[in-house]
Structure 1
């Protein structure tokens, strides 16, 4: 689902399936599809979930005509789940917010907003495939014989892109677009250093692989504006690298 209420519905539907006796950290990890021991990642995802609630509320106000009460009511319930996130407590104290009335409101809201968000979105298989390639490249980056500064640059951006893909269900296409734009700026700011490092064959080979993966993510998300804004300058930059 591409619209914000649809994404929220997707996440809360998963939340409803988790057993009441589950530990809260494990429940959120299942919802966000991450490791329950990754405390930083969990709280980052929770922060993005709060932003998603606000995005859904604003979209409801803007695009749904008439009386919006039934569409707006679920957002307060989800916010209540996020008000005091005690990771060691029982999931039942949070799950009880997801009443049938709340879920029905999310379903109605998702349907009502679908006409305002017709764009395609990545499915689970695409995200899984990109994450597999990204994790392999990140592992190779850490093992590669690259200048330390170049290794740090690539590793940091690969890790931030990995987190953007992991939280795609929360942030949606625009969240991934923002991360691609940020990486584009970071790479272009370091272009002189990357060009100089690319005189080494191993550095050149890894730089090509890095750009290839960025291009795959950019193409897969199918955002035309990002495609022109990101792919064009980075492709031109790559063509200027020395052929090792």
Structure 2
């Protein structure tokens, strides 16, 4: 499934998926499934739900800012979504939340998505690709812990890889902008420590480092809008080239 760039589209897709669950489900289980949250990580689920509530507000503002003329139809569903998010009870039955969702509400969000889609463009990174990148980062995190890197570099790589992993997990909610911001932040962090990275690189760690930068480059390329897609040598990652070329 493609993740929409515009917030109304992302909200619609998430709520449409949630709406498909039976009334008898437990609310916590529904959101864990929809938001791809681990079953044993309540804190992670609460963070994702907080992000989802922020997305609801961003979607409403996108309608106000981006749709000309009468906005009544496009703003109507937010009365229901505001009520739903204000009454979340994770231990309760899903029907308590689902009562605020119906075809009329979801169709109005779909209309809003259609009206805003042309303004926001499309991203090339699908949810399936996101899962693949998360799996690659999981492996790199294990490789990092098993590596012979000095503790300072091990901490640097582990911290930034985990932050990128979390950004990919929340990509379904935050969209391309949140992921772009994290990639840019990571590139800046790696660039600032480039001298230390190159000084400490040896034959046993070069393969790991190259794999890290290849994944960063692949994610960066995938999140670019179709009309402005850039390769690894593009401006967004140009700061990493001295490190990459020296490994």
Question: What does residue 145 of structure 2 align with?
Answer: 142
Q: Offset at 1:37?
A: 1.8
2:243 aligned to 212, 237, 243, which one?
237
Alignment of 1:1-150 (within 5 A): 1-150=4-153
Distance of aligned partners of 1:143 and 1:86 in 2 relative to their CA distance in 1, 3 Å threshold: farther
Question: What does residue 207 of structure 2 align with?
Answer: 205
Distance of aligned partners of 1:99 and 1:116 in 2 relative to their CA distance in 1, 3 Å threshold: same
Give the match's secondary structure for 1:129.
helix
Note the aligned Cα RMSD (angstroms): 1.9
Question: What does residue 216 of structure 2 align with?
Answer: 214
Q: Offset at 1:225?
A: 8.2
Structure 2 length as normaliser, TM-score?
A: 0.89
Unaligned runs of 5+ in 1: none
Structure 1 range deviating more: 25-34 or 7-16 = 25-34
Is the Cα contact below 8 Å between 1:9 and 1:107 reproduced in 2?
yes
Deviations 1:173-229 (A, max 9, x none): 11110110111122122223212221x222222211111110011011124488644
Give the match's secondary structure for 2:167.
helix
- Whole-angstrom distance in 1 between the partners of 2:164 and 2:82: 27
Unaligned runs of 5+ in 2: none
Distance of aligned partners of 1:36 and 1:73 in 2 relative to their CA distance in 1, 3 Å threshold: farther
Distance of aligned partners of 1:78 and 1:229 in 2 relative to their CA distance in 1, 3 Å threshold: farther
- Whole-angstrom distance in 1 between the partners of 2:94 and 2:230: 39
Deviations 1:103-140 (A, max 9, x none): 12111111111121223342232222222222221222
Aligned residue pair count = 240
Structure 1 length as normaliser, TM-score?
A: 0.90
